[in-house]
Structure formats: structure tokens, C-alpha cells
Amino acid sequence: RHKCGNQKSCPQDYFAFKIISGAANVVGPSMCFEDLILMSNVKNNIGRGLNIALVNGTNGELLKTDAFDMYSG
């Protein structure tokens, strides 16, 4: 098994991630980083529009998550 359910392992000094887009109002998006779910319906931290996770590119630390509703402005 590879991190985040990916088909291959990442090379050394690379981070594993997987981003899954939502499907209308039926299935919400999810983000996995280094085998840790950052955003999902279960964590209740996603929203309509753009869902963003800010991660430190050096050590992989999650800094912030947020959603920006592009529909309502």
C-alpha cells in the first residue's frame, strides 16, 4: 500500500498527495497529504467552491485550510 492510496510510491524527498474533486452536492472533495486526510466531508472542513490547504513545502506541516465560495462572490 502506498501513501494516500496512490498507485506508486513517491521518490525520496517528495511528498505524496491525492486530491479528489467533488461531484455536485452528492460527494464532497477530499485532500490527502503524506497519508493524512487534510480536508473531507468527515472532517467537516470543506465548502462550496475552491477548497485550499496550505502546507509548508519544506517539512510538510499543515498551516491552514479554507474554502472560498466562488458562486456567491
**Averaged pLDDT, 29-37:** 94
Tens of pLDDT, residue by residue over 2-19, are 999 999 999 998 999 999
Q: Report yes or no: 18 and 1 within 8 Å, Cβ to Cβ.
A: no
Tens of pLDDT, residue by residue over 20-32, are 987 767 788 899 9
pLDDT exceeds 70 at position 45: yes
**Averaged pLDDT, 43-60:** 90
Which sequence spans correspond to the domains of the chain? 3-68
